Chains A and B, each alone.
Chain A
């Protein structure tokens, strides 16, 4: 339908700007860090920190993970439901290993800490899938 002033291109431009802006807002950036501690071959502590980035991150997305049919709209809820897949994915990305072992009078004790240093992830949640990719 033709508008009253007849300016089709202007209306189209406004609509496309609004649409692209909404898409850009949907793909947001999060800071994620992960750490777990194993003491004497027993898991002692595990933490996964998720925070929305307050500054724009630099870098390009690499090696994304796709999570199918996300019912949750927030990343925290999404990752709590896909925790095993996401933690396996974090392991693939690479973890910093720090191991210390002490043998005192032939009594041994060991501590191993695996850490994913705080990394910025680009998160895009659609109706069909969620795409999470680290920025490097």
Chain B
């Protein structure tokens, strides 16, 4: 009886060891695989376990999609929280014909150029309203009219440079926009 019990114990132990050997073989085989996984979290280990390798790419794809969506949102948002936008324009103006002195001509041309620069800033920041109307009679264009208009309030615009050459005055003007100016 004792011997039979010993025999049973030996057999069971041998089967257990045999089973361990088989599992070792199974676990060693996937190590040869050429799958390379890049985990952004850095928590992924070497591809020793096939199950772990397959589980890792799924959340990675989700993260990539989320990152792409976030980037797209950032690109859509023109004026970000901490960033400023600097807008630079150059306005042009000419002096009237009947000026009494070159100095007066310069002063008047500069004023006109400043107004043009303000208009350009308003156009860039706020936008332009455009209305068009074409009249066609007997298959011919009789009248073509385009009306554009801008209405805005411009504050804190700075004159960078003024040039006056051959009756034309150019005023370079810039304005810095920040998110806080538009926060409601």
Contact = CB atoms under 8 A, between A and B. Distances in A.
A41 B169 CA distance: 10
11 contacts: A36-B115, A38-B111, A43-B96, A43-B108, A91-B157, A94-B154, A95-B153, A97-B122, A99-B122, A99-B149, A101-B147
Nearest to B151: A98
Interface string A67-98: 00000000000000000000000011111111
Q: Which 7 A-B pairs have the closest CB atoms?
A: A94-B155, A38-B115, A103-B146, A99-B150, A99-B119, A101-B148, A43-B108
Interface string B98-138: 00000000001101101110110111000000000000000
B154 A102 contact: no
Interface stretch (B11-19, B32-40, B87-95): B87-95
A60 interface: no
B85 to A, nearest CB: 18
B94 A91 contact: no
Contacts of B155: 92-95
B143 interface: yes
Interface residues of B, number: 32
Interface of A: 36, 38, 41-43, 46, 91-106, 112, 114
A55 B119 CA distance: 35
Contacts of B114: 91
A102 B145 contact: yes
Contacts, number: 89
Interface in B19-69: none
Contact of B116 (A92, A100, A112): A112
Given A36-B115, A38-B116, A41-B92, 11 more contacts: A38-B115, A42-B95, A91-B157, A96-B152, A96-B153, A97-B122, A99-B148, A101-B147, A103-B145, A104-B145, A112-B118
Contact of A92 (B92, B121, B147, B156): B156
B68 to A, nearest CB: 40
